[in-house]
A and B are shown apart, each in its own frame.
Chain A
Amino acid sequence: MRCRHDSRPSPPYTITTQSPCICGSAVPVRRSSRLSTSAPPTDVHAMPPPSPRPAPPSAASHAALQLLERLASGYHLLCQYKCRDALAVFHSLPERQKKTGWVLCQLGRAHFEMVQYAEALQAFELALKIEPHRLCGMELHSTILWHLKREVGLSYLAKRALDFERNSPYACCVVGNCFSLQKEHDTALKFFQRAIQLQPDFAYAYTLSGHEYSANDDFEKATACYRSAIRFDERHYNAWYGLGNIYYRQEKYDFAEQHLQAALKINPSSSPLYCYLGMALHANQKPEQALNMLATAIDLDQKNPLARFQKAQVLLSMDQHELALTELKTLVEMAPKEGSVYQMLGKVYKKLGDHSNAMVNLTRAMDLSPKDAQQIKAAINNLEKEDNAEEEEDL
């Protein structure tokens, strides 16, 4: 038995209710049968139904069952988004089992959920090398490349997927992601819609369509897409997050809060989700709760720069300038090339009355993000005006 979308000579698409991830689990079954060298290769489906008094299991089948149990528990943990535990289970597998496409894809997914895109990419690249025919999971691979803005890698993957199997919903998602990275949102949408046509219960394709509509500011259609995704997979937290994002942008902060909380209920170990919830709470005039959420976000992932950035923003709005300054100073060390950080530093220094440092940081911001030049220039001009006014007063 093989994964449904794995191989080229797959039959024309029959729509089943089987979820795409579960069908991938068929591969280790095949592998495990190879392990049992003494016993004849067992096919799960050909096995006789269990008799009331089972024969004592042979050593080989015992080993196979143990392996399956471990794979299943890893997958179970991953589905509960206990990514760290899942990773530990998958890493405890024997070396030759770890080097299978399915396990590598699960490893990649676990890293992906923890925003460790570099590690996730490594796992997926290895999976692609070992099992180039595995299309199931490629959609996540492409999303990782999208996050890392690897245009060339993503184009290559898209070309490869399309050449291999045009009728795979996963391949369509890869191509859609590729166009999305090029900011061709309308073309990307066409491919995501095609993926939905090929597999009408593919929740992730709905979510990706939602993201594209949202990028085009078409909130109504985006909401419909996210809702469809949730209809097919209630535990698809990305769609809940998408809805939260849309309500946030529409300034309906109560709804945003509610939807982000729903996403967090599904995936309670996601640092970015806590960060977004913190932003929604802050926008909803609940700075204390927002700070709590942002602290959790930072606890979960020390490397989350956005959470620190937002924490500084909340502190700034609460007039705790000194605390904001310490937070931003840590942040500058983590992300020394980010213009927005310097821009905020400039703001904080200005509030503290340290105009020379404010000017230094604003000019740095100007160098790093020329796109916001207008805004930064205005801030610098304001600063100069105030300086001049003060000098006149002194005279």
Chain B
Amino acid sequence: MTETTTSENHHGDIIQVNNLRKSYGDIVAVDGVSFSVATGEVFGILGPNGAGKTTTVEILEGMRSSDSGSALINGVDVQKHPQAVKEIIGIQLQSSSFFDRLNLVEILDVFASIYRRQIDAMEFLRQVQLADRAKALFKELSGGQKQRFSVATTLVNDPLVLFLDEPTTGLDPQARHHMWDLVKRFKDEGRTVLLTTHYMEEAEELCDRVAIMDHGKIAALDRPDTLVDALLAKGFERPRSERLATLEDVFLDLTGRALRDAGPETDGQ
């Protein structure tokens, strides 16, 4: 099931993807993907590993070329003007590292300078609760702090669209909830967010709409509620009835919601 309205140029759609294809040799990674994302929307791309979601997102980010099809961000063709698109988006890679031997403020300054901007780096660190680590090196941060700093670096150009690739993978529940709060704040600020995730509860919590990808195609695209209703309408029944609380609720009840990132994680890097 693919969306059919993409050829019409919606005025409110900041991302427009039309029939995108990409193959690596015999393997078709992206097989005719079309969708569009409205300005201010949080849009999720879900799918098992190898479904083609990372390739799709990387084409949208201007980090990879497509074989055919088109992708527009804010009306700019990503294939023709990748640099222009990169000016108006922020990309958080799944696992990224930053310069050694520069502290957080210095790294943010370098990133801002790429956009020829002079920023108050401390303000950006405050937004992700890292102000007290301003002079720290990236490698000295804990896993959650690294992820938050990585998000901070994507904000220096005040992007219209944020791409977050599995933003909460490997984070503890407190750090995950903090990341969710950040995403909600970006939405409140009017930014468009496109995220990929393996966590369905994350998609339900954050996304206005989700696209579920498999084998390079979009298998379903709609609001999470609507997709669930559609499944139930087919007569689906969950084998065990839903409890009113989950184990995560128990965990958070016992350990609180405050961020736990006093020190670096030993398994970091």
User: Do the two shown chains form a genuine complex with each other?
Assistant: no
Q: Give me the interface of B with A, judged by CB distance under 8 Å.
A: none
Q: Give me the interface of A with B, judged by CB distance under 8 Å.
A: none
